């Protein structure tokens, strides 16, 4: 794990869905996409299958089994990490990656 913190420049994950209305990607931890890859490196690259894009969060909840109970871990990402807590100055990467790169692909 220490290698991830010290020497990995970017993490690559796959989204389970995306929400068009808010530009949100939906991540769930798995062996192929561990949670650390989306949170620790300074750059997060995420692959989104165009066929898994829904209009609204409500549509996503209707198309999944979430109505019967949420998965153990779901991460909704709408932008790179940012905060203005310190001296009201906007800073990126305070609680996660500074940069978010989303790649939309057909038929992933």
Q: Is 103 helix (H, G, I), strand (E, B) or coil?
A: strand
Rounded Cα gap, residues 92 and 20, in angstroms: 23
The pLDDT of residue 31 is above 80: no
Q: Record the pTM.
A: 0.77
Question: pLDDT band at 5, cuts 50/70/90?
Answer: low
- pLDDT range class, residue 26, cuts 50, 70, 90: very high
- 52-90 pLDDT per residue, tens: 999 999 999 888 877 787 777 888 888 776 777 777 777
Distance CA(107)–CA(10), nearest Å, equals 24
Domains of the chain, each with CATH number or no CATH: 2-105 (3.40.50.10420)
Kindly report the length of the chain.
108
Helix (H) / strand (E) element for 27: namely strand 24-28
Kindly indicate the confidence band of residue 41, based on its pLDDT and cuts at 50, 70 and 90: confident
Token reading at 88: 């009201």
């Amino acid at each position: 794990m220490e290698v991830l913190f010290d020497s990995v420049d970017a993490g690559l994950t796959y989204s389970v869905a995306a929400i068009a209305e808010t530009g949100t990607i939906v991540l769930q931890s798995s062996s192929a996409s561990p949670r650390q890859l989306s949170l620790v490196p300074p750059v997060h690259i995420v692959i989104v299958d165009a066929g898994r894009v829904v209009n609204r969060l409500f549509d996503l909840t209707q198309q999944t089994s979430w109505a019967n109970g949420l998965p153990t871990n779901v991460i909704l990402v709408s932008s790179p990490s940012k905060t203005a807590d310190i001296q009201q100055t906007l800073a990126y990467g305070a609680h996660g990656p500074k940069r978010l790169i989303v790649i939309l692909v057909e038929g992933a």
